[in-house]
Every structure is written in C-alpha cells, then in structure tokens.
Amino acid sequence: MRRDNDLIRAMLFKYEAEDDYVLFEPDGNALPGEHEHRERFHLLLMMDAGLATKLSAGTFRLTSRGMDFLEAIREDTAWNKIKRGAAKVGDVGLNLLVDMAIASLKLELEKRVGLKF
C-alpha cells in the first residue's frame, strides 16, 4: 500500500476536531470514501513519524510534533507548496515532509516577524 500524504493531512484535521485528546483507532469510523484498513495503515505511519502515539489498546493521541506539523500545513497554499517542493526530488519520506513543513513555517516567520532560527 502506498502512503497518501493528503489522507494523513485529512486525518490530522479529523483528529484535531475531536473533543477529547484520547482518540480511538479507526473502527468503523473512517473518513468518507476511505477504507478502515487504509486509515489504520496511515495512522501507523503517523505513529512511526512521531505525529501520534499509542496510549493503550485501541487509543492514541496526537503528539506535539503532530500538532506542529498540522499548523505548518493548515493552509492549502502552504500544503501545496510543500507537496510541490517534495515532488521536485521524487517521493520523500514522511519525516522529511514534516521537516520541510516546519522549515517552511520558520522561513515564513523570519520574513514576517524577523525571527531568526
């Protein structure tokens, strides 16, 4: 199964919208048009990349890294810029995609606020 970065982004938005920080692994509540096993696979990839962490059997939460990644890709323009940049070198791993998004956000902060990282 191939990784779908747009699905990972959609899942981050879905999880952020929940009322509780304790989230349940996909079990009949997959995103519209997605199969549960596909969403589970992508959740495992998110855990591998440190975007989410398992709490107990069947539960997890987003990590600070996951929330930072979501903030960096929240706007469609930022997300599309990151995807275009990644496409220039072929398919990049999720960890590198996260690093690219955070770096892009830092550059934007430098331009707008004058903060140096």
C-beta separation of 105 from 117 below 8 A: no
- Over residues 5-18, the pLDDT tens digits come to 999 999 999 999 99
Residue 115 pLDDT: 75
Distance CA 50, CA 33 (A): 26
Assign 50 a pLDDT band (cuts: 50, 70, 90). Answer: very high
Mean pLDDT of 86-95: 89
Indicate if the pLDDT at residue 30 is higher than 80: no
Looking at residue 3, its pLDDT comes to: 94
CA dist 113 to 81, 92, 104, 117, Å?
20, 29, 14, 12
Average pLDDT of span 91-101: 93
**Cα distance between residue 31 and residue 11, in whole Å:** 8
Calculate mean pLDDT across residues 47-60: 96
- The predicted pLDDT at position 91 comes to 80
Predicted local distance difference test score (pLDDT) of residue 35: 78
pTM of the predicted structure, to 2 decimals: 0.88
